[in-house]
Chain A
Amino acid sequence: MGTEEQSTLVTQSCLYRPVAVLKGVVVMLKEAVEEWMGAVRKIDDYRWELPQNYKEGMNVPGLVFADEEMMRVIGRDQSLEQVANVATLPGIVGRSMAMPDIHWGYGFPIGGVAATRVNDGVVSPGGVGFDINCGVRLLRTELTEVEVRPKLQELVAALYTAVPSGVGVGGKLRLDAKEIDKVLLNGALWAVERGYGLHEDLELLESQGRLPGADPTKVGSKPRQRGAPQLGTLGAGNHFLEVQVVEDVYQPETAQAMGIHGYGQVLVMIHTGSRGLGHQVCEDYLKVMDGAIKRYGIHLPDRQLACAPVSSPEGQDYLAAMACGANFAWANRQCITHWVREAFTQVFQKSPHELGIRTVYDVAHNIAKIEEHVVPSPSSGQVSKRVKLCVHRKGATRAYPAGHPEIPAAYQGIGQPVLIPGDMGRYSFIAVGTEQAMAETFGSTCHGAGRMQSRAAAMRSLKGTDIRGRLEARGIAVQAGSYRGLLEEASEAYKDVAHVVDITEKAGISLKVVKVRPLGVIKG
C-alpha cells in the first residue's frame, strides 16, 4: 500500500496526464526524447547501447536496434526504461535487447529479447506475456490476384464466417477435460489428428507446432475453463486474418524455396495466439512468481517482471505450463488454417489441394525457449562456449540461419522464414534468419510494425474517419467486428514496418525476401 509521497506517482509520467494538457505533453515528449538520446551511446548506424551504469542493478548493458529516426520514436515512451529493467534480471547474458519495433509494454518492453542462463538465471512469465505463443502462420496458394479479385468480397465474407472472431465470441469446438489435455500436450498435431489440416503442415511449423516439456498437470482448472470455448478463434485487438498478395520479391530463389513464385500470388496470414488459456496460465504463474521472488531474494524494479530461477520448482512448473499454452496456440492456428482452406474451397469450388493451399511457416513471437547458444565466457576472457539458455522473446521472432538443425528440411538452404506483419493498411514482410542473428541476438529479430500511438490517441486523431471506406478505396476488402477496433488498428497507430525491416536487414539479423500487401482484412 502506498504512502502520501508515493502517491504523486499517479500523475508522474507525462503520458498519464489528461488530454487537456496535450500541448504540454508535446513539449515534455521532446524533452523525454532528448534525455534518452543523451543516455544511449551510438555503436553504429543501426545499434545503440544503453550503458550498464544507466541504472543501478543492471547486470548487462542494453542494446537497441534502430536508426536515429527510429530512436527518436522509441524515446517517446518508457520502453527504454523497460530495457534497463530487464537488464536487472538475475542470470541475464549478453545484452537486454530491443528490436526496432520495440514499444512500451508492461514489465518487459514489446520487441524485447532476453536470454538467461538455465543453471543460475531466471525465467519470467512477463518476458513471454499474457498471450503465450502469440504468433503468425503464413499460407500460400496457387491463386493470383487476378483470379481472386472478382470473388474477393465473397471470399472475405466466407472467411469471416468460417473463423470465429471478436470480443467474447466462442468457437465451434467443444472440448471435454480429457481432450483439452491432448491439445496441451500435442499442439498442432492434435488438430491434424482430429482432421484439421494435413500432416505435411506440421513439419513447417516452429517446433513442429508442439513444444516439448508440456505438462497439463501444471495447468489449473481456470485456464482450461477460459480456453475451452476459445480454441479455434481469432480473438480481437491486433489479431487478424489477411488475404495478401505478393507485391515485391527481393530474393527470388529464396522465395521460390518457400513456394512463392512472384508478383500477384495470393497468400493468407493468420495472427493470433493462445487466447484465454494462455492469458490465465500467465496470470496464475505471475501470482506464483510474485510470491517466489521474496523466497529467492530477487529484487526487481517492476513487479510485472516477477520471476523465479529456471531450475526452481516454480520456474520448471511455469515452463511446463507455458509449453501447454504454446501448444494450445499452435492447435488454434492449425484449426484456423483448416477453416481457411474450407472457405477457399467453398468460394472457388476447388479442393485445397487443387488451390495449392500449403503452409509456408508458423512462428511464435511471445515465448521462452530453452536453446543452446555460444556466449563469451566471463571467466576466461574472450573464449566462447556453448551454454544452455532460456531465451525470452516478447514481441520478437526466432530467426535461425540456414543449416540450423531446428529448421525444416525444406528451408535448410535458405534459413528460417520470419513472418513480419505490418499494419492492415500497408504491407507485411517475409524474411529469413541469419548467422549474424545467431551471433548477436540469440537468433532473434523483429516481430511486426510496433505500435506508436495509444489506442485512445488513435481514436482521437481519427475520430469520424471512414477507415473501411479508406481501405476499400485502395482495393482492400474488410470484415470487422467493431468500428472502434478498426480505428484503433489504423495505419497511423503503427510504425512503418518497412522501416523496421530495413533496420533489421541493415543490422544483418534478418534479410527481406518478400513484400506483400493486403487484399482482404478480417478483424474481431
Chain B
Amino acid sequence: MKKYRPIEHTADIGLVAYGRDLGECFSNAAWGLFSCITDLRRVRPEEVREVRVEAGDTEALLVDWLNELLFLFDSEGFLGRRFDVVEIGDGRLRARVWGERLDPERHRTRIAVKATTYHQLQVVQRDGWRARVIFDV
C-alpha cells in the first residue's frame, strides 16, 4: 500500500496519507512529513522518542502529532523514520518514534517545514483511512 501522495499548493506543500487503520494513516503522514525534510532511506532507526499528544478531535490530533515531530526536529535535530503508534483514539495518541539526529555529513536536507496547518485539513475513513494536510514551508 502506498504510504502517501504529495499534493500541490502554490506557496506550500501538502500530502494525503493512507492507512489500513487510523494509526497506520498517522504513521504514514509522519513518514510523508519527514520525507519533505530529508531522504528517509538514509536515516537510521537508532534512537527512540516517546510522543504523546491530546486534542479535541481527530483532525486536530493529526496536526498536533505532526507538529510534535517538527518540534523534535527543530529543538534537537531529530529525524523520525519509524513511527509505531501504540495508542490512538478519544483524542489521544501515544507513539514511539525511531530515528536519529540530523548529521549534515550523511543527511541531505530538502525543505524547511515551518508548521502543520489546519487549512483544508481532513481525516476520513475511506478504503481504510486517509488524511489530507498542508504544511507551511
Contacts and interface: CB of A to CB of B under 8 A. Distances in A.
B110 A9 contact: no
Interface string A473-500: 0000000011011001000000000000
A103 B11 contact: yes
Interface stretch (B2-10, B80-88, B92-100): B2-10
B40 interface: no
A176 interface: no
A454 interface: yes
B114 A168 contact: no
B48 interface: no
Contacts of B124: 1-4, 6-7, 10
B91 to A, nearest CB: 11
B1 to A, nearest CB: 16
Interface stretch (A178-186, A228-236, A402-410): A228-236
Contacts of A280: 71, 74
A309 B137 CA distance: 28
Interface string A487-524: 01000000000000000000000000000000000001
A135 to B, nearest CB: 15
Contact of A283 (B5, B9, B67): B67
User: B interface, by DSSP: helix, strand, loop or mixed?
Assistant: mixed
B10 A451 contact: yes
Given A304-B119, A524-B112, A167 B37 contact: yes
Contacts of A451: 10-11
Contacts of B35: none
Nearest to B78: A168
A303 B102 contact: no
Contact of A130 (B7, B56, B114, B120): B114
B122 A2 contact: yes
A168 B109 contact: yes
B118 A286 contact: yes
A264 interface: no
B136 interface: yes
Given A130-B114, A279-B115, A304-B117, A454 B58 contact: no
Contacts of A89: none
Contact of A291 (B56, B64, B115, B121): B56
Interface string A202-242: 00000000000000000000100110011000011100000
B115 A282 contact: yes
Counting chain A residues whose Cβ lies within 8 A of the other chain, the interface size class is 35 or more
A168 B78 CA distance: 9
A192 B100 CA distance: 37
> Which of A10, A106, A303, A455 neighbours the largest number of chain B CB atoms within 10 Å of its CB?
A106
B13 interface: yes
B69 to A, nearest CB: 12
B68 to A, nearest CB: 9
B119 A302 contact: yes
B97 to A, nearest CB: 16
Interface string B102-135: 1010001111101111111111111000101010
Contacts of A168: 37, 73-74, 77, 102, 104, 109
B13 A287 contact: no
A6 B122 CA distance: 9
A280 B136 CA distance: 12
A485 B64 CA distance: 27
A456 interface: yes
A30 to B, nearest CB: 17
B114 A131 contact: yes
A395 to B, nearest CB: 9
B78 to A, nearest CB: 10
Interface string A451-475: 1111111000000000000000000
Contact of B136 (A104, A129, A230, A456): A129
Contact of B112 (A15, A18, A235): A235
25 contacts: A1-B58, A3-B124, A7-B122, A7-B125, A7-B126, A7-B130, A18-B5, A106-B118, A106-B120, A106-B136, A131-B114, A167-B38, A167-B111, A167-B112, A168-B73, A222-B75, A236-B112, A276-B75, A279-B74, A279-B115, A282-B115, A290-B118, A451-B11, A454-B9, A484-B110
Interface of B: 5-13, 16, 37-38, 55-60, 64, 67, 70-71, 73-75, 77, 102, 104, 108-112, 114-126, 130, 132, 134, 136-137
Given A235-B112, A283-B115, 7 more contacts: A10-B124, A105-B11, A287-B55, A290-B56, A303-B121, A484-B111, A524-B112
